[in-house]
Structure 1
Amino acid sequence: MALEWEQVIVDAADPVALGRWWAEALGRVCVDEADDEYEIRTAPDRLPGLLFGHVPEPKTVKNRLHLDFRPQDQAAEVARLPALGARHADIWQGEQPWVLLVDPEGNEFCVLGERSG
């Protein structure tokens, strides 16, 4: 038996707005849009996707799962993403080679530094 990774689901108060934000942040395309969900992928026929689905309750605690991104230029992305609406977050992790940010709805993600080795 084989499994194919279809998508990651992200709970959202406003899935369309959050999905559009992530599409711009990641340079992705929308493959499905409705009032209660918004899916993005690198290309319409490429998996996995990110599916933003509506939930009525607000985010209340730290995510149990978050996304890590390794850019070519960490400093440039750490400047660009807050200009789009991300915010810096500090969970008292000390000096690390990554930068912790949160998206407009408070979901944590990391912008990693240069790969070592």
Structure 2
Amino acid sequence: MPSRWEQVVVDAEDPPRLARWWAEALGYVIVTETPGEAEIRRRRDELPGILFNLGTDPKVGKNRLHLDLRPDDQEAEVERLVGMGARPVDIGQGDVGWVVLADPEGNEFCVLAPRSST
């Protein structure tokens, strides 16, 4: 029997603060929160979640794993996320159809263009 995906774990300098940022960005709810870790999910009883765990090692280089977000309006979503504290980053992506941003702790993620209706 295969395993079930429970959560993605993100090391964070301030887990509750980063969890609150991502909960707002994704429209998720905070399931648990302590000074050392916080978990968010789409709904309290729905997996998988994202667990933000206290990590003391500084982030170095490009993430090897990142989230891709696909909003209905890419430009508006980039503007909203930047207004929340994300920042555009160049990881060598060149001229592509997505926008690479970094969250308040520097973790890269992509904001994709809407899927075509074809």
1:36 aligned partner: 36
Mapping for residues 1-117 of structure 1, pairs under 5 Å: 1-116=1-116, 117=118
Q: Secondary structure at the match of 1:80?
A: helix
CA distance in 2, matches of 1:32, 1:61: 29
Shift of 1:27: 0.8
Shift of 1:92: 2.6
Q: Unaligned regions of 5+ residues in structure 1, if any?
A: none
| Counterpart contact for 2:85–2:104, Cα < 8 Å | yes
Aligned length: 117
Q: Secondary structure at the match of 1:39?
A: strand
TM-score for the superposition, normalised by structure 2? 0.95
Shift of 1:79: 0.4
Q: Unaligned regions of 5+ residues in structure 2, if any?
A: none
CA distance in 1, matches of 2:7, 2:87: 25
TM-score for the superposition, normalised by structure 1? 0.96
Percent identity of equivalent pairs = 62
Shift of 1:93: 1.7
CA distance in 1, matches of 2:92, 2:106: 17
RMSD: 1.0
Q: Secondary structure at the match of 2:79?
A: helix
